Every structure is written in C-alpha cells, then in structure tokens.
Amino acid sequence: MNGNLLICLGIGLIVAGVAYKYGLLDWFGNLPGDIRYKGENTFVFIPITSMLLVSAVASIVMWFFRH
C-alpha cells in the first residue's frame, strides 16, 4: 500500500471525526429513504440513502486516485 494513500485516509478520518464532534454530520442517517422502525422493544435502522451517498463519494474519490 502506498504511504500517501495511508496519509490521505488518516487525514480524512480526522476531518470526519472533527465534523462529527461539532455536529456537522447530524443530517447523515436522517435522509429521505433511510428506514427507521421503532417498536416497543425493537429498533431497526436501515440507512439505504446514506450508504448510497457514501458509496458515490467513495467511488469518486477512488476514481481520482486511479487517474
């Protein structure tokens, strides 16, 4: 694995952690299309739209790294 890739991943994780700490990612997981079911004793969360967004962003980032 390339050392530059590890550095970029580390910086990305730090940025995501800071954004999460200061509440900049509150919208994530609450997008239209994310399924939430709350029963009396159960809670089911299926983040379909959020994971599609993550997949699209990851695909774009990986495309930039390859080209």
User: What three-state secondary structure class fits 46?
Assistant: strand
**How far is it, in rounded angstroms, from Cα 47 to Cα 35?**
6
- CB of 5 within 8 A of CB of 65? yes
Band of the pLDDT at 5, cuts 50, 70, 90?
A: confident
Query: What pLDDT, on a 0 to 100 scale, did the predictor assign at position 65?
Result: 77
Per residue in 12-65, pLDDT (tens digit) is 899 999 999 999 988 888 899 999 999 999 999 999 999 999 999 889 988 887
Cβ burial, residue 23 (10 Å; 0-12/13-18/19+):
exposed
Nearest in space to 31 (alpha carbons), one of 49, 12, 58: 49
Domain enclosing residue 39, as ranges: 3-66
Domains contained in the chain, number: 1
Does pLDDT of 1 surpass 80? no
**How far is it, in rounded angstroms, from Cα 48 to Cα 27?**
14
Query: What pLDDT, on a 0 to 100 scale, did the predictor assign at position 40?
Result: 94
